[in-house]
Amino acid sequence: MSERLNILYEDNHLLGIVKDAGLLIQGDRTGDITLLDLARDYVKRKYKKPGNVFLGLVHRLDRPVSGVVFFARTSKAASRLSNEFRLRQVEKVYWAVVEGELRERTGSLESHLGRSKKRSHRAKGSSAGAKPAILCYRLLSTRKGLSLVEVRPSTGRHHQIRVQLSDAGYPIVGDVKYGASEALSARQIALHGVALSVKHPVKEEIITIQAPPPEDFPWNQFRTAIEARFQ
């Protein structure tokens, strides 16, 4: 089961892994295998640990999203990392391929988001439950009516990047829930957590993990730009 894992960082306190698009990060009512299952199995086998293996889930990626993820290997690390995410002391960088060619090379998107069940939506700031959502973006490349965009969210709202890019007129490729023209295969959308930086819970130094996006469509339309970053 563990052979599917792409390990980026590992010590006694942290485990950094790449999550594939379409893979759950933690269990739900489907009962499908999760990244947490795979990571626990990896630790159990590598270190020959008896019984249940502790791994703390301190942040999440949506099922159709790929990207880098940190797990905490101790309860102390989990508590400290959770606090970092709560206080927005981490740096998260995403890449997205969106429909359309951006008019501005850089900019920011600010709005309020509300949530109903499994969807989020733009809302008035005065609406009950509405929360501010802010992100900055940078255009990396355009090709055949698509844009490769780097996104740095300042807030961590439910489906924030997906909703805000769609509201701006640039839905993420494959994200039919939020306005994309058609779906992609294998339960994926063209959104990838490319880099994540946290303060190590014990060593007090900044740890960064990063990984390139998948190689299939639509990422393969931007191979030159991607290779320039990950050569």
* Cα–Cα nearest to 188, from 79, 96, 55, 60: 96
**CA geometry: angle at 223 spanning 107 and 17, to 5°?**
80
Active-site annotation holds for 62: yes
The helix/strand/coil state of 96 is strand
Residue 204 region by backbone torsions, left for phi larger than 0, else alpha for psi between -120 and 50, else beta = left
As given in the structure block, the two tokens for residue 158 are 């439910």
Amino acid residing at 149: V
Q: Which of 62, 167, 175, 216 is catalytic?
A: 62
Contact 193, 18 (CB under 8 A): no
* Cα–Cα nearest to 196, from 62, 73, 18, 20: 18
Residues 6+ apart with CB under 8 A from 48: none
Contact 16, 7 (CB under 8 A): yes
Amino acid residing at 223: R
Give catalytic residues, as residue numbers: 62
